[in-house]
Amino acid sequence: MELEPLIGARLVAGFPGTEASPALIAHLRALHISSIIVFARNFTSVAQFTRLLRDLESGVGRRLLVMVDHEGGRIIRFSEGVTRFPAPREAARRGDAAIEAQGRTEAAELGRLGIHVNLAPCVDVLTEGSDPVIGDRAYGSDPAVVSRLGAARVRGLQDGGVAACAKHFPGLGAVARDPHKDLPTIRLDRDAMRRTHWPPFQAAVAARVATIMSSHVCYPELGEPEGLPATFSPRLVSELLRQTFGFEGAILTDDLEMGALRSFGGMGDIAVRACEAGHDFLLICSDLAMQREAFAGLLEAASGGRLSPAAVQAGANRAQLIRSQWVR
């Protein structure tokens, strides 16, 4: 297969507006993009949103894998057509069966809207004193509870036909600063992470979660260099998550436009480093120019040998597998 479609298969593009403009369609076609992420800015009504997806697919000439953050509480992107479930911390009081039923309801509603991947649940274990970026998005502070409820949500979503995503690996619940704004550091050693923050991800893997999202956070006590986020860490993404935890699904970055990565240079190099770490999907959630920069950087790296043909193909294969399993 030619390089351009392999690279385009790795990008997940967000975009402005509520219509499939000729410029947007041309952009998606030029970058061979097959996966998009949608936000409240793309939605005014069920009818409008259905038309948007239909027109985008007609314009690019292929089915699109459509993702959304639909966690409940303050993280809901649609103003109609979905049940507004409470934030996970509140929903946790309802127990396993209710959380699994919530996942099934979400899958039915999101499926009717044309969504294939729900970027939920958040399986971070909340730690006292952490930044409110997680807060009520977590099921709580007990790793056993978070593990149980996170796995229940995964089962409900995926049994209902929508892929789930456990986030934010290797654990964001102790973060002191919001990675949307700055690059944070979590100074917990391996034993502390193993006891508290890794069990929910292991439970999600055991529940056969389709995707896992990493975090833009530094973990120097896990043997990483100071200032290196998990986004760029082969040790955490390829070794810990793939080899140690045995995860075989697709690994996603968080939004590569976040402030946490601002000091690492241009989007082209950021995208290449994320691929080198072992990510399959790269989320670039709003800026079309940055998506073009990422595509160009990845193409140059693949053409010049910095990214091996085997690695490029393997990531594209996992991305394509998600599409073939969940786009119906």
Tell me the domains of the chain and their CATH numbers. Answer: 3-326 (3.20.20.300)
pLDDT digits (tens, 9 = 90+) for 5-60: 999 999 999 999 999 999 999 999 999 999 999 999 999 999 999 999 999 999 99
Phi-psi region of 305 (alpha: psi -120 to 50; beta: other; left: phi over 0): left
The pLDDT > 70 percentage for the chain reads 100
pLDDT at position 275: 97
Beta strand residue intervals within 253-305, DSSP E: 282-284
- Other beta carbons within 10 angstroms of residue 304's beta carbon come to 8
Handedness of CA 170, 164, 28, 25 (dihedral sign): negative
Kindly tell me if the per-residue pLDDT of 293 is higher than 80.
yes
**Which residues participate in catalysis according to the annotation?**
180, 254
Average pLDDT over residues 281-295: 98
* pLDDT tier for residue 85 given thresholds of 50, 70 and 90: very high
Kindly tell me if the per-residue pLDDT of 93 is higher than 80.
yes
Q: What are phi and psi of 283, to 5 degrees?
A: -90, 125
pLDDT digits (tens, 9 = 90+) for 67-79: 999 999 999 999 9
| Cα distances (Å, whole numbers) of residue 8 to 58, 103, 280, 313 | 18, 30, 11, 12
pLDDT digits (tens, 9 = 90+) for 178-210: 889 989 999 999 999 999 999 999 999 999 999
Tell me, what DSSP letter sits at residue 19?
Answer: S
Average pLDDT over residues 246-260: 97
Task: Confirm whether pTM is higher than 0.95.
Answer: yes
Tell me, what DSSP letter sits at residue 271?
Answer: H
User: Which neighbouring-strand residues pair with 284?
Assistant: 13
Average pLDDT over residues 245-257: 97
- In the three-class reduction of DSSP (H, G, I as helix; E, B as strand; rest coil), residue 263 is classed as helix
Which residue is it, tokens 């917990």? 188
Average pLDDT over residues 224-233: 96
Tell me, what DSSP letter sits at residue 243?
Answer: I
pLDDT digits (tens, 9 = 90+) for 98-147: 999 999 999 999 999 999 999 999 999 999 878 788 999 999 999 999 99
* pLDDT tier for residue 1 given thresholds of 50, 70 and 90: low
